[in-house]
Structure 1
C-alpha cells in the first residue's frame, strides 16, 4: 500500500456512547469485515490486552491489529467498501513505517499494522510466529484473535521502548518463568535491540544496525539523528537508498491534517523548504556540539 492518503478530516464521532463502548463495537466491526474478507489478524494493545497483564482495562483511542501481510490489500479494499477511509499511510505513519490508519465517522480510528516496531523477523515470518500460539477473546459478542500472553508481554515492552518509558509495570509483575518464556520469544522474534532499549541496556548492541534508530527512538534527539538511524537500520543498499530519497519529502498526510485541506503545490514547496531549513540547523548543531563541549 504505497498510495497517498486522500484528504481526511479528523474523526469526531458525535454519538454520546462512551468511548469504551464505542471501541468495543469498533473492534467487533473491524473483525467482522476481516472475517468476511478471509483475513487473519491479531488484535493488540488497548482492551485487547489480556486482563492478567492489565487488570484495569485500557481502551486507548483506537483499535489496533496486526494483519497477515499477504492479505493487507484484501482488507484495505474491504474497509473502503464498508465506509472506512485512509487517514495516514505506511509511508508516513512512523519511523518504522509499520501501520496504516483508517477513519470512520461512527467507529473512529483503526490502525492496521503490517509489523510491530522492534521485531526483526520479516513481516510475514513475524505474523506466523505470533499466530502459532494465539488466544481467542471477544468484543461485543464477536470473537477475535489476540497474541499469546507471552507475546503480549513482549509487545508491551517493545511499545514502552518507543514511549521512552522503560519497562512497563506488567513486566515486573511477571514471575521468573513467565519472564524467561518472554525472553525466549524475544530471541525468536529477533527483537533483542528494542527490548534492550526498554531495559536501559541498549549499549550492549552498539554493533547492531538498529542501534542508532532505537537510540533516537527511546532517548530522543533531533530528527536528523532519527533519519540517519532509519538509513543505517535498513538491511540492504536498496532499502537505505529508498530512505535517503524519502527523507526530504514532505509528509503530505500530516500537512493535509494541519491545514484542514489537501495541500496545494505551493504549500508543499513551502513545507519542503521549511523542513530543509530545520534539517540544516539540526545537522549544524550536531556537528558543532562536540566542539562547544571542549571549550
Structure 2
C-alpha cells in the first residue's frame, strides 16, 4: 500500500533536501515564503505548494548543477519564469517543485547587495531537523508583499496583503517601508499596498501596473522594455518579444513540443496579442 506524505511534511523534507545539496557545495541560500514563514508573518490557513529559495548570485550556477545531479529536473530556466526573469523551476520525484531565485522581483538594488542585506539579518529555521537560513520577519513581510503584488488581484494575494500590511500596526509598517527603501523596493511595495499611482512616471511603474492589475501581452512587453535600465537590455527584449517560450509550451503540453507546434505558436502569439488589444479597445455595450 502506498502512503501519501502530507504536503507540509513533504515540503519540509524538500527544504531540507535542497539545504543538504547547498551545504555540500558551500552555496549560500535563504529559504523564503511557504513553510519557512515565521508564525508572526504567516496567516492562519495559508498553505504552500512548493519550495522557494533565494540564492547568492555567485552560487546559482553551481547549485543548479548540483541539484540536477541530485535528481532535480529543470523545467524552465530564468528567462522563461516571468517578466522579471528571476527564477528557475525544478521538480523532484519525491519532493515536488522548487523555485530557485537568483533575484526577487521588486528588489532593485544589485542582487548581491539585496542578498547580503537579507542574509546578514537572517535567522535559523529547522526544516525536518536541518538547519536552514531564513530572512527575519520584517524581510519576510516585504518578500510576501512583493509576491502578492504580482498576483493580479488574486484572493490569496489579497489575503496576504491584508494580513501582512493592512492589519499590521504602524511600527511594523514603518519597518517594512524602511527595509523597502534600503532594497529599492518602494515601487513594488506601493503596488502591493494600493499606492502605485504615486510612482507614475517611474520606469518600473508600468511593469508593476501590469503585474498587479493585468494587461495584454503587448502591455507587458512594452513595460518590460521601458523598465530595462540599459539600451542593450531594451534591444535584447525587443529581439526576444517574438520568440516562442519553448519551455513554457512544454509545461502547458506536459511534453516537449514538436517543431510543427513551435512554428504554429510562433505565428499564433502575435495574432493573440492583436486580438487582446482589439478586445481591450472595443467599446463595451451598455449593461456589460
TM over 0.5: yes
Deviations 1:169-217 (A, max 9, x none): 1223433222211110000111111111111111111111001111111
Output aligned runs, 1:213-252, within 5 Å: 213-252=207-246
**CA apart distance, 1:93:** 0.8
| SS of equivalent to 2:212 | helix
Could you tell me whether the CA contact under 8 Å between 1:171 and 1:179 is conserved in 2?
Answer: yes
Q: How many residues align?
A: 277
Task: Name the counterpart of 2:195.
Answer: 201
Residue 104 (1) aligns with residue 92 (2): yes
Residue 61 (1) aligns with residue 49 (2): yes
* Partners of 1:155 and 1:258 in 2: CA distance: 28
Question: TM-score, normalized by length of structure 1?
Answer: 0.89
| SS of equivalent to 1:25 | helix
Structure 2: unaligned runs, 5 residues or longer: none
**CA apart distance, 1:15:** 5.3
**CA apart distance, 1:232:** 0.5
Cα gap change, 1:55 to 1:200, in 2 (>3 Å): closer
Question: TM-score, normalized by length of structure 2?
Answer: 0.91
Q: CA RMSD in A?
A: 1.7
Task: Name the counterpart of 2:109.
Answer: 121
* Partners of 1:91 and 1:186 in 2: CA distance: 25
**CA apart distance, 1:59:** 4.1
| SS of equivalent to 1:225 | helix
Deviations 1:229-260 (A, max 9, x none): 11101001111111111111111112112333
**CA apart distance, 1:281:** 2.5
**CA apart distance, 1:276:** 1.4
* Partners of 2:254 and 2:213 in 1: CA distance: 32
| SS of equivalent to 1:23 | helix
Deviations 1:118-152 (A, max 9, x none): 11112111111111101111110001000111101
Residue 169 (1) aligns with residue 196 (2): no
* Partners of 1:272 and 1:180 in 2: CA distance: 47
Task: Name the counterpart of 1:266.
Answer: 260
* Partners of 1:223 and 1:15 in 2: CA distance: 43
Q: Indicate which of 117, 125, 136 corresponds to 1:148.
A: 136
Deviations 1:93-113 (A, max 9, x none): 111111101111111111000
Give the stretch that moved more between structures: 157-166 or 268-277: 157-166
Q: Indicate which of 33, 38, 43 corresponds to 2:26.
A: 38
Could you tell me whether the CA contact under 8 Å between 1:156 and 1:168 is conserved in 2?
Answer: no
| SS of equivalent to 2:267 | helix
